[in-house]
Amino acid sequence: KRSSHALRGSSQLKHALQFYICSLSTKVIIYKGMLTSGQVLPYYPDLRDTDFETHLAMVHSRFSTNTFPSWDRAQPLRFMSHNGEINTLRGNSNWMRARRGRASSPLFGDDLPKLFPVVEPHCSDTGTFDNVLEFLLMTGRSLQEAILMMVPEAWQKHESMPEEKRAFYEYFSCMMEPWDGPASIAFTDGHYIGAVLDRNGLRPSRYYITHDDRVIMASEVGVLPVAPELVKEKGRLQPGRIFLVDFEQGRLIPDEEVKHLFAAERPYAQWLREQRITLEELAPKDEPHGFYPETLLQRMQAFGYTTETMQFMLLPMIQQARDPVGSMGNDSALACLSDQPRMIYDYFKQLFAQVTNPAIDSIREEVVMSLECYVGPEQNLLDVTPEHCHRLLVPHPILTNEELAALEHMTKRGWKTKKIDITFDRAEGKAGLTKALDRICAEAEAAIDDNYTLIILSDRNIGQDRVAVSSLLATGAVHHHLIRQAKRTQIGIILESGEAREVHHHCLLIGYGADAINPYLAFEALWQARLDGLLPGEKYDSDEKIVSGYRKAVAKGMLKVMAKMGISTLQSYKGAQIFEALGLRDEVVDVCFNGTASRIQGVSFDVLAEELLRRHALGYPTDEARKLPT
């Protein structure tokens, strides 16, 4: 690891990225190269030598579709081979960087920091997966357990799944998000060889078991000739299932047996019952409703609401109970070229699955989709204790006002919440934005040092003299600041935002690190619309029904966006940054959206601050007599 970090991370070596240690294993030998299948045997004389015998062989000969081919990326890697793509790669990598702050291992002791960063620079998605798998194995986990942690089956909506197996998956979801994407992964450590298929099952894996004690698995049938009379059993690997050969026992271990072995190892169900915190046990019934019609119009103008926002976005979400559908294409001016003050969200475009990476159907494949997430401080990834599941279960990323109030005042089991104001003094002008971001990041880090478990980034303090920082800028800045400090997994980030209202807004906020969002102004705008007769009174005769309808519409929209990228769970989507920026300068991207591609430069913090101030002036004009343009 130390040599890889020193050499691959060097800017002085011309061919630094070509340095790669195939393996230091005493159990397996890895032969790799940028070769076609027919070139491997002539190139490596060992493989033609009859004195060499092996009890296993793992071969990878597929092509690269989403990374440029190079020798170090050629598969197999140290412990696995992979057919597919890891769609959540950036988020997985960020979370692994963040977890180093809590990591400790009796096997490595004070030398553990020498292994960081776990993910080597400029890896492919498969290389990143292999780095993390290797880290888990070297720090004490078994090969099977590590694979089940990283590639769990769809357990959230599997009603017939045994309780102990469900508890096993739920427990480990408190420690690590799924590595999501179409993936068929073969793995070996010399003692075992096996394969696992991700929850979507969009990569084929077919196997033969023969009477002469051979097990053959490949992405297609017919890779090796097998006489029909020798076939003892044949089949295909199903979604979420694991296929394992144990050479010490000399047998194939069925999926159910593998999972039962690990699920029964510890009392996971009991730990979850004792440690898990749910919103239902927190939410009070006597909190203020949070509807302030006397200042509603001012705040809506200051946060960039327009007539079109209500007419084409928010009202249809309630009336149709789903994210509104528009025509393909967008002929409006790019945000970076527009004369009007645009929302920061307009500078981002969602990515989507391409080439060999299929999208999934969020409606017909609902059983594998989930918006459920655990939030709050994580524990040491390399340990297993009851406290690892001492986290807050949030079933939906959109929080009601009552749920937010419950979180703000919670004192249950040692949890406490700090509210951070994300507004700045209007008199500071454009310089106020960067000062505010620095202050917000410092306050968030101080909250961790003071043992807070949640922070609420709130723009409720907006007013005549207080300008709200964009929720997206604040979230991204705090998220990446805490990742750099290796403290992100020690706290949950909740948003109380008047700015977020559309599905795209919520996707961006979750994608850049928010754990949950309370879009209070969207609620208020819809409540006022009901009073104005713009919503059917017989169907939506209470504010609670409107909030419920809005949450359902956002859920459908977010699942659709996730599915478009081939991602099944919100936990995998969170922090994954599945976006490209268009027209944001590097100074903004580096602070708030680190790792996001911005292929053309453009808007700086000064311009974003100017747009914030112009938008704020629509709701809170400095000259009271001045009429707003129609």
What per-residue confidence (pLDDT) applies to 329?
A: 65
105 pLDDT more than 80:
yes
* DSSP letter (8 states) at residue 97: H
pTM for the model: 0.93
Closest by CA position to 622, among listed 461, 609, 614 = 614
Return the minimum-mean-pLDDT range out of 45-49, 98-102, 322-326.
322-326
Per-position DSSP letters for 593-621, written without gaps between them? STT-EESS--B-HHHHHHHHHHHHHHHS-
Closest CA to 37 of 57, 66, 59: 59
| Token pair belonging to 532 | 């104005």
The pLDDT of residue 392 is above 90: yes
Find the range with the poorest average confidence among 26-35, 66-75, 126-135: 66-75
* CA angle (98 as vertex; 95, 101 as ends), nearest 5: 145
As a whole-number percent, the residues of the chain with pLDDT over 90 amount to 67
Q: What is the pLDDT of residues 252-304, one digit of tens each?
A: 999 999 999 999 999 999 999 999 999 988 866 555 578 899 999 999 999 99
Does 564 have pLDDT greater than 50? Answer: yes
Burial (0-12, 13-18, 19+ Cβ within 10 Å), 503: buried
pLDDT mean across residues, the chain: 90
Q: Which domains are seen in the chain, by residue range?
A: 2-275 (3.60.20.10), 278-324+341-351+396-619 (3.20.20.70)
Q: pLDDT tens for residues 143-187?
A: 999 999 999 999 998 889 999 999 999 999 999 999 988 889 999
- Which H/E stretch holds residue 218? strand 215-218
Query: Which runs of consecutive H residues, i.e. helices, occur in 44-124?
Result: 89-99
Residue 601 has a pLDDT of: 85
What's the rounded Cα separation, in Å, for the pair 620 and 463? 7
pLDDT at 15: 76
- Contact of 67 with 124, CB cutoff 8 Å: yes
**Is the predicted pLDDT of residue 626 greater than 60, yes or no?**
no
Which single residue is written with the structure tokens 């401080």?
A: 377
Rounded distance between C-alpha atoms, residue 23 and residue 78, angstroms:
6
**Per-residue CA distances from 461 to 50, 342, 454, 465, 536 (Å):** 77, 22, 19, 10, 32
Q: Are 406 and 284 in contact (CB under 8 A)?
A: yes
- What pLDDT score was predicted for residue 628? 44
Report d(CA 407, CA 423) in Å as an integer: 21
- pLDDT score of 410 more than 80: yes
The answer on pLDDT for 404 being more than 90 is yes
Query: Checking phi first, is residue 577 left (phi over 0); if not, alpha (psi -120 to 50) or beta?
Result: left
Q: Give the integer Cα–Cα distance in Å for 394 and 515.
A: 9
pLDDT at residue 630 is higher than 70: no
Beta strands in 415-564 (DSSP E): 417-421, 423-425, 454-458, 466-468, 492-496, 516-518
The answer to whether residue 625 scores a pLDDT higher than 50 is: no
One-letter amino acid of 264: A
